[in-house]
A = this chain, B = another copy of it.
Amino acid sequence: MTIPRFTKKISKIAGSSPGTLVHSGEGDLSAIRISMMNYDAERGVQEHAPASIAAAIELSEFPGSSWIHIEGVHDLDMMEQIGAHFDIHPLTLEDIVSVGQRPKVEDYEHYLYIVLKMLCFEERETLIGSEQLSIIIGPRTLISFQEQKGEIFEPIRERIRKGRGRIRKGGSDYLAYALVDAVVDHYFLILEKIGEKIELLENQLLDHPRPRTLQAIHGMKREMIFLRKQIWPLREVVNQLAKGEADIIQPETRVFLRDVYDHTVHILDTIESFRDILSGMIDLYLSTISNRINEVMKVLTMISTIFIPVTFIAGVYGMNFKYMPELDWKYGYAFVWGLMAGIISLIIIILKKKNWL
């Protein structure tokens, strides 16, 4: 489950016609939930939960801004209705349902299509999960597609409801900024959790390194590779939006997107820093183990160096030769003890000089 994430992609049959809709996600396929907000500065806010996409399309005839948020992208009929009504390019529809896209922005003149990755960090397994968020920004209508249910846009809804800030006046491009900003802000939370985990591992490493620690560091490093792969293209996406190449993005919104761009760069810097720190930790682990081997070796060598010679002497006087003059000496036994004590002392002195004791 850890590596296949890296290759997740469009599962249309290789060589099949582009624009063929085949859903490639593994999400909860039961029910699709549509939620809708119509609002503008004068008319206030209307919230709807249309039962079908047809109802939503009808409701989107509202003269102000209209935000259709769809949770679940496996209903291909629905996609085709949306495509037909809003004149969406088949490739866009294909990208929405095949949820393994790289973050990107595409400008189809009458609408702007943005793909983002929403991430989550499963702390227990140290695994980063990823979910595709597609945003279609029309002149008045914004449609957002999320793979699974989630609540990270709730604060934005609250802001629309309460009319805080410029969100009600801002149009669909400002709403798009708010969504992108919410996603990027969410990355910081994930980085914070990862940071805590790394600090935990670093402490473990310094206090009591174990093979498990190493495996956890290795796992974290692989997650960083995954994270970088997911977020790296985002930089370019936000940069393109902020540079104002797309007409749909109003000049007033660009200053906010520039802010998001700064955050994106900040996040990528942090990921790079984490990778560097984790690499350093693996080096540290290896050095620590080498150190321990050295310590263990020293003890072994010390014990062996002290006892092997004296054991040899004891062996000599355990021989059964008939004519061994020392055996008959009165103080032979004492002499041997003295000899052995002398040898041991000598060896200990030598070892001390070599700083092994």
Enumerate chain B residues within 8 angstroms of A12, measured Cβ to Cβ. Answer: 185
* Partner-contacting stretch, out of A52-60, A128-136, A281-289: A281-289
CA distance A328 to B90 in the complex (A): 98
Chain B residues within 8 Å of A101, by CB: 262
Decide if A28 is an interface residue (CB 8 Å cutoff).
no
> Which among A31-39, A64-72, A78-86, A210-218 touches the partner chain?
A210-218
CB atoms of A290 and B293 under 8 A apart: yes
Residue of B7, B188, B285, B300 near A287 (CB, 8 A) is B285
A165, B18: Cβ atoms under 8 Å?
Answer: yes
Interface residues of A in 113-145 (CB under 8 A from B): none
Contacting A16 at CB < 8 Å: which of B159, B262, B296?
B159
Please indicate the chain B residues that have their CB under 8 angstroms from the CB of A189 in the complex: 14
Residue of A2, A196, A325 contacting most chain B CB atoms (<10 Å): A2
In the complex, identify which listed stretch (A40-48, A243-251, A314-322) lies at the interface while the others stay far away.
A314-322
Among A7, A91, A273, A286: residue with most chain B CB under 10 A: A7
Contact of A319 among B20, B270, B282, B333 (CB under 8 A): B333
A357 within 8 A of B: no
Least CB separation from A156: chain B residue: B15
CB <8 Å contact, A195 and B7? yes
Given contacts A153-B15, A276-B225, contact A336 B321 (CB under 8 A): yes
- Counted per complex, copies of this chain come to 5
Task: Give the distance to chain B from A206, nearest Cβ to Cβ, in Å.
Answer: 6
Main secondary structure of the interface of A (DSSP, over half): helix
Beta-carbon contact of A319 and B314 below 8 Å: yes
A185, chain B: closest CB distance, angstroms: 4
A321 (CB) vs chain B CBs: closest residue: B333
Is A345 an interface residue when CB atoms closer than 8 A count as contact? no
Q: A102-B265, A277-B222 are in contact. Are A165 and B17 (CB under 8 A)?
A: yes
Q: Closest CB of chain B to A223's CB: distance in Å? A: 11
CA A199 – CA B310 in complex, angstroms?
A: 45
A175 to B: closest C-beta gap in Å: 12
Which residues of A does B touch, CB under 8 Å?
Answer: 2-4, 6-7, 9-10, 12-20, 89, 91, 95, 101-102, 104, 106, 152-156, 159, 164-165, 167, 178, 181-182, 185-186, 188-189, 191-192, 195-196, 198-199, 202, 206, 211, 214-215, 218, 221-222, 225-226, 229, 232-233, 255-256, 258-259, 262-263, 265-266, 269-270, 273-274, 276-277, 280-294, 296-301, 303-305, 307-312, 314-333, 336, 356
28 contacts between A and B (CB under 8 A): A4-B196, A6-B274, A9-B188, A10-B185, A14-B152, A14-B185, A15-B155, A16-B159, A102-B269, A206-B215, A211-B288, A214-B284, A214-B288, A218-B280, A221-B280, A226-B273, A229-B269, A282-B284, A283-B286, A292-B294, A296-B356, A301-B303, A303-B309, A304-B308, A314-B318, A319-B320, A319-B333, A322-B327
